Chains A and B, each alone.
Chain A
Amino acid sequence: MKWAYSSILISIFSLLLASCTVNLFSPLAAKDYPEANQYQAQSLIDQGKYDEILKDPDKYPAQDNVAAALGIMGFDLKLLTNFLNSTNTSSLDILIGWLNIEDTNHIGDLAYALKRLRSEYGNSIDKSIVLSLAGSALPMLGLLMLADIANTNAINTSDGLNTNEINTLGYWLSNPPSNLTNLFRRIGDVNRDGQDETIAGVIGGGFVNFFLGLQSIASLSPELTNVSILTNLSNIISSLDPDGDGIISDTDVSNFIVSFLSNLTSSSN
């Protein structure tokens, strides 16, 4: 009897110590299939383990690949929380410290992810694709913040952006000021379109290029066509690429940014 009770007590404590999180079936379970990989990608992004996804990007959905590439560059929640908690006295150095745009490998990761995204979803759009667009807001934010902090004389967003400031920001995309060279320096032809890219060009132009692949607003799902801002964005995009060759130059990107910001500021008014 003592033996039986001892065994039971030992079993109890052993199981409790195992803390219920050790899975005894896990070695037997199938793990590498699309649903599981998608869940895993979301989990890794939640944990900020972007590098885990970028080590084996093809294993995960393209939109999560994009998210990881943006995340590892610093365009993630830390940027948001820092921004929301920041004061207007933040310096460029501090902002640059938040971001990780020095490593051109990360730019390459993003270019590759965007290429995948377009390749997989070029002719259709669904909710999952639209989700990844959320990520494009963060690079935009980066541009805004850099612009704001880098040159307090030319651009001062504390009182809003006027037309001249927007134009200046657009001009910088093609003719970057010296203190923004990190963002606008040329990094080679990373997406193999025959032209050298800037970091800003890859980030902004990549998304623009992707959405240019959509034939028209009519190709979107009915649910999405009701979203007014999508219509606005579609109008902006359709104003790009006047020759219709699908190639976006730095000037096109700058026009896009200017139009985008104009749209936002007019919305805020």
Chain B
Amino acid sequence: MKKILYILVILGVASFGFATTFQPYEHINLFQGAFSTGMGKATTAVKGLGIESFLANPANGSEKFSFDIISINPFQYNSTTLQLLSDLQKMQQTKDYTKLFNYIGTPVNVRLGVNLIGFNIPIYDFSLNFGTFATVYAYLEVHNPLSTAGLLDLLGFSAASFFVGTSYSFKHLDVGNPEVNKYLSNLSVGLNMKFVLTGTVNRKLTLADFLQGSDHLNQVLNEELSKLVTITNIKDLLVRPDIGLSYELPIDETQKVNFGLSILNIGGIPIGDFCIPTTVNLGAAYSYDLSTLIGNRMLLKNTSVSLDFHDIFFQRKDKDFFKRLHIGLKTDLANLNDIIVVSLGLGISQGYPTFGVGFKLATFKINYSISAEEIGVYAGQNPDVRQNISISIGW
């Protein structure tokens, strides 16, 4: 009886009106490629990353034919995830969920993206891109009951999307004025139409939910998870365009600077009460043909450094300038006629160093990156270190 009384006391106040949804400070995107994460997410002005480049900026369609089938990009997780999965099994056996308290203030994050197909088909000055991608994202964090943050933040979404878009290069367009032609020839524009079905879960769980017993907790969790996978209602189809601009400024035969601007998720993508907002991203990339410099065409090809400023109109929840700053570097450490490629990505994302490596063997590609995501209000407040893997078959 003593415990029942105690629980009632807690229930009485804990059910008073906790905010029922979680509004994260993390800059969540619908799609986030593993290799671009390794290069600090500074990809708005970077071409040559296949679908990752196109989804970052529709003007970045490649002039080379490429395709991916059955690609996993990314599988992302943080270190807490594996530990929690192990403990959850034990807790289900013992029905003692108080072990969750060990995870106070430690977020758990998992993201899985699957692309069934993705094509990039150059046609004259156009580049036609189409494909599918599905994403499941989950984030949960346990808090001290005394905290105003609630006891458990649960945020997740699943998205199934078909996209079709094109980029167009003005390099052969003749407007009748040589001067104008000269400037226009460096310009590319792009449009990507995304058709998205989403299932979302966004809830704060209270201590009351936990103390009412494992059956209640299982029921609540199952209800929320069912929302996550229920993406079958075609009436809920979201049509969200992305628009991009790219301007390439050649310096000489070995150097060029590329400027990029993208407007992503126009109209926003709701995730429960949370929303991935329309974001305008700016970027610049400087490319230098190091392979020519060192006299070996197989080494250090496709080298570039890039700088991005994301969400320039501050539509995200926080208003920190440095959380929007991304710096990246990529190079092919070894490239044997695009059949065997070893790529390296380095970067600084929101102030945190990132590292990525990619390996391609004919049609098989695998990338790995490690990065930290800022989940606090400002750059440096609360990093969440995550590992990202992608595997794909394609060309």
**Residues of A with Cβ closer than 8 Å to B?**
1, 4-5, 8, 11-12, 15-16, 18-26, 28-31, 35-36, 38-43, 45-48, 61, 63-64, 67-68, 70-71, 75-77, 80-81, 83-85, 88, 127-128, 130-138, 140-141, 144-145, 148, 157-161, 221, 223-224, 227, 229-230, 233, 264-265, 267-268
A11 to B331, CA, bound (A): 13
A134 B14 Cβ-Cβ under 8 A: yes
A85 to B14, CA, bound (A): 20
Select one of B144, B374, B379 contacting A77, CB under 8 A.
B144
Q: Which residues of chain B in 284-343 are interfacial with respect to chain A, using CB atoms and an 8 Å cutoff?
A: 290, 294, 296, 299-300, 318-323, 325, 331, 333
Contacts of B14 in A (CB 8 A): 134, 137
Interface residue? B145 (CB, 8 A): yes
Known: A35-B318, A137-B13. Is A21-B145 also a contact (CB below 8 A)?
A: no
Task: For the complex, count residues of B whose C-beta is within 8 A of A.
Answer: 67
Contacts of A265 in B (CB 8 A): 5
A18 to B348, CA, bound (A): 12
Contacts of A26 in B (CB 8 A): 322, 351, 378-380
Contacts of B353 in A (CB 8 A): 15, 18, 20, 22, 24
B299 A1 Cβ-Cβ under 8 A: yes
Query: Interface-forming stretch among B45-53, B97-105, B273-281?
Result: B97-105
Known: A25-B322, A67-B148, A136-B13. Is A39-B355 also a contact (CB below 8 A)?
A: no
With A15-B346, A134-B207 already in contact, 17 other A-B pairs whose C-beta atoms are closer than 8 Å: A23-B374, A24-B353, A25-B351, A29-B379, A30-B320, A46-B104, A47-B105, A64-B148, A67-B148, A71-B146, A77-B145, A81-B98, A136-B13, A159-B1, A223-B17, A264-B5, A267-B12
The closest CB in chain B to the CB of A230 belongs to: B16
A46 to B296, CA, bound (A): 54
Interface residue? B235 (CB, 8 A): no
A45 to B148, CA, bound (A): 9
Known: A25-B325, A25-B379, A137-B14. Is A20-B385 also a contact (CB below 8 A)?
A: yes
Interface residue? B381 (CB, 8 A): yes
Known: A137-B10, A158-B2. Is A23-B352 also a contact (CB below 8 A)?
A: yes
Closest 6 CB pairs of A and B: A26-B380, A46-B105, A25-B351, A23-B380, A23-B351, A67-B146
25 sampled A-B residue pairs with Cβ under 8 A: A8-B331, A20-B383, A21-B372, A25-B350, A26-B322, A29-B378, A36-B377, A36-B378, A39-B25, A39-B377, A41-B148, A42-B149, A64-B148, A75-B146, A127-B17, A131-B16, A131-B19, A136-B13, A144-B9, A157-B2, A161-B1, A224-B17, A264-B5, A264-B9, A267-B8
